[in-house]
Amino acid sequence: MSVRKLKPITSAQRFRVVNGFDAITTDKPEKSLLVPNKRSGGRNSQGKMTMRYIGGGHKRKYRIIDFKRNKTGIPAEVASIEYDPNRTAFIALLNYQDGEKRYIIAPNGLQVGQSVVSGTEGVAPEIGNSMTLAQVPLGTIISCIELRPGQGAIMARSAGAFAQLMARDGKFASVKLPSGETRLILVECMATIGVVSNSDHQLTVSGKAGRSRWLGRRPRTRPVVMNPVDHPMGGGEGKSSGGHPRSRNGIPAKGYRTRSKTKASNKYIVERRKK
């Protein structure tokens, strides 16, 4: 993993920092795992804008990712590490011994030609392998974690993300998540060994506003420059009106807790995330 700082031959490139893409081995995706990805532009079925600041962007195709890792006991060889425009992490193409091909979220250090396997019994805790939390040794760094057995990975999937298995007690495992929260998760849930790839993603600098447009993000209006009818922080002369930072609906920002005190999953949270 590396980043490159470009020479300032234009204003847009003066501060630009780009990913080195050292880990990428091919620029052509597997066609059988591509599906169309239609954009809404922030409009609903009537054509009315229901989400602001969404629209445009480069055309993409969605790569079908195997989040469940339910092809158990069959070894697969890593055929390539690829870029995915739909996520910050890189993806890896697996060729299974029975001929099937699948994409997975690539962990750091996964190499082309390496063999990976998923399963519930007898799987070694090596990078890229997927197993239940009941099998993972305590203290191991994991990613792509399920919250319910068979659901598919939903936690620690973005670039550079990882969690740590802290303890096991009965049917629950205690896992420290990327946010700093410590949570109880059923030991039947699957997880992948290793840190998610492309950990240098956070070091990149876009350099210009147009790059946000390529990602489908339209310019965002600051609340303080709106009128009072449009936002609680709007109106007044200059920046004087402001008031306390809050959302368009009046919910305070900067540390106000919005999680329900009666939420059913509160009993599974051992320690809240840090402020």
Residue 242 has pLDDT above 90, yes or no: no
Asked if 109 and 100 touch (Cβ cutoff 8 Å), the reply is no
pLDDT tens, 243-265?
789 999 999 998 898 999 999 99
Averaged pLDDT, 15-26: 93
Would you say residue 271 has pLDDT above 90? yes
The answer to whether 149 and 171 have CB atoms below 8 angstroms apart is no
Statement to judge: residues 134 and 249 lie in one domain: no
Q: Which of 168, 202, 236 is the last residue of a domain?
A: 202
The average confidence (pLDDT) of the chain is 94
Q: Are 37 and 113 members of one domain? A: yes
Identify whether residues 102 and 232 lie together within a single domain. Answer: no
**What pLDDT digit, counting tens, does each position of 183-223 carry?**
999 999 999 999 999 999 999 999 999 999 999 999 999 98
pLDDT-derived band at 122 (thresholds 50, 70, 90) equals confident
pLDDT band at 145 (very low <50, low <70, confident <90, very high): very high
Note whether residue 211 is domain-resident. Answer: no
**With 90 as the cut, is the pLDDT of residue 121 above it?**
no
Q: For the chain, give me the number of helices (H) and strands (E)?
A: 1, 16
Residue 269 lies in a domain: yes
Helix then strand then coil, % of the chain, to nearest 5? 10, 30, 65
Number of folded domains in the chain? 2
Angle, vertex CA 109, rays to CA 21 and CA 132, nearest 5: 130
What domain range is 242 assigned to? 226-275
Domain boundary among the residues 187, 202, 217 is at: 202
Q: Same domain, yes or no, for 166 and 230? A: no
Strand, coil or helix: 88: coil
The pLDDT, as a whole number, for residue 237 is 83
Whether residue 145 sits in one domain with residue 12: yes
Half-sphere exposure (Cβ direction) of 251: Cα atoms closer than 13 Å: 7
Q: Are residues 167 and 273 in the same domain?
A: no
Whether 169 shows a pLDDT value over 90: the answer reads yes
The burial of 92, by beta-carbon neighbours within 10 Å (0-12 exposed, 13-18 middle, 19 or more buried), is given as buried
- Is residue 220 assigned to a domain? no
Q: What is the CATH number of the domain that holds 238?
A: 4.10.950.10
Residue 212: inside a domain, yes or no?
no
Structure confidence at residue 241 as a pLDDT band (50, 70, 90): low
pLDDT at residue 71 tops 80: yes
- 125 and 167 together in one domain: yes
CATH code of the domain containing 46: 2.40.50.140
Q: In this structure, which amino acid lies at residue 248?
A: R
- Residue 275: the pLDDT is 66
**One domain for residues 159 and 236:** no
Residue 213 included in any domain: no
Picking from 146, 167, 202, the residue at the C-terminal end of a domain is 202
Are 128 and 247 found together in one domain?
A: no
pLDDT per residue as tens digits for the range 133-143: 999 999 999 99
pLDDT value, residue 178: 94
With respect to residue 136, please indicate whether it lies within any of the assigned structural domains: yes
Does one domain contain both 239 and 184?
A: no
State both tokens at 153. 């990975």
Flag whether 122 is in a domain: yes
Same-domain status, 171 and 274: no
What pLDDT is recorded for position 238? Answer: 76
If you average pLDDT over residues 68-84, what whole number do you get?
95
User: Are 149 and 45 part of one and the same domain?
Assistant: yes
In a domain, 139, yes or no: yes
